[in-house]
Amino acid sequence: MIKQNGSGSLTKEQSQFYEEQGYLIIPQLLSEEDLASAREAMTQKVSMIADELFADGVITDKLEDRPFPNRLAELFQDLSAENFLKYGRSWRDRIPGYFTLMSNPKILDAVESLIGGELFANPVYNVRPKVPKVAAGAVPWHQDKSYWPDANANPVITVWIPLVDANEVNGCLHIKPQTHRKRVLKWHRETHTGTGYTALKDSQLGKTETVALPVPAGSAILFNDRCLHMSTPNMSDTVRWSVDLRYQPTDQDPMVQHGVGFLARSYKFPSRVATLEDWLAERPEHEE
């Protein structure tokens, strides 16, 4: 049976919680198999960085035998934050494994429950390696919509997924429930760490309680782009790997100023759904 537009996979209670609180946790939405392609893409990226560091004489050992959670942290353990930030505080490479993750039906089914089945994958997706001590440690309080304040009133949904268990030691997400009904607050550009994150002042946070969201690998935290959130520093000795993906209805602003997104699902025009080849070529839709 073909699923009709707007059905999705969330229960009525889950959808209602999201609408009321501005966020939703789906524990272990993705299996190890689902995460494998993204982990492989991240492994490729780390190898590229190691090759460059080695070629530049910055390191003498590429640590090729180290496991996924450890290698990047150990590559930079004796280097500075500036060394790391040369590669950016988040990555948006077009490596096939990322497209596989962004197109995963389990993710699309969950998002469809909230905004329908005509789904556009926003160009602002990020792979975030939170490296101990040297990287973009704490992410300050902010609203995602501060990064696209001139866009129309998109109901953009962020889907935040850790590739390793996220906890209060390695820097899990923290959120202020029910703040998705706020306007876009006046923000400033964070200047202390060199990351350039948008940030809010303490006086803007209000009295809403802060909720820590430790979750195991493969879980998904969905939240509205106006919902106030942050993450704490990584105080462990391994990388806290995560991705934040974003989805919106196809009739909303594609935000081309931020890059090229893609048609991830459509019941009206299924033949236009982007393929891996389209995504690699930066085509938003499949052209027959």
What token pair was written down for 206?
Answer: 């209000």
Alpha-carbon span 88 to 201, nearest angstrom: 24
pTM, two decimal places: 0.90
Alpha-carbon span 133 to 115, nearest angstrom: 38
- Which pLDDT band, with edges at 50, 70 and 90, does 140 fall under? confident
Instruction: Render pLDDT for 154-181 as a digit per residue (tens, 0 to 9).
Output: 678 999 999 999 999 999 999 999 988 8
Structural domains present in the chain: 12-280 (2.60.120.620)
Please name the helix (run of DSSP H) or strand (run of DSSP E) that holds residue 262, with its range, or none.
strand 262-265
User: Do 280 and 270 form a contact (C-beta atoms < 8 A)?
Assistant: no
Mean of pLDDT over the chain: 87
* CA–CA distances in Å: residue 240 to residues 68, 71, 128, 215, 216: 11, 12, 8, 12, 11
Residue 175 CA from chain centroid, whole number = 15
Signed CA dihedral, 234, 76, 123, 112: sign only = negative
Residues in the chain: 288
* 196 pLDDT above the threshold of 70: no
* 194 pLDDT above the threshold of 90: no
Instruction: Render pLDDT for 43-94 as a digit per residue (tens, 0 to 9).
Output: 999 999 999 999 999 999 999 999 999 999 999 888 877 788 788 777 889 9
- Which pLDDT band, with edges at 50, 70 and 90, does 1 fall under? very low
* CA–CA distances in Å: residue 271 to residues 105, 266, 288: 16, 8, 8
DSSP bridge pairs for 91:
127
User: Do 108 and 119 form a contact (C-beta atoms < 8 A)?
Assistant: yes
* 4 pLDDT above the threshold of 80: no
Beta sheet of 229-231, edge-to-edge order: 139-142, 229-231, 173-175, 211-213
* 190 pLDDT above the threshold of 70: no
- State the CB neighbour count (10 A cutoff) for residue 149: 11
pLDDT at 106: 98
pLDDT (mean) for 237-250? 94
* 10 pLDDT above the threshold of 80: yes
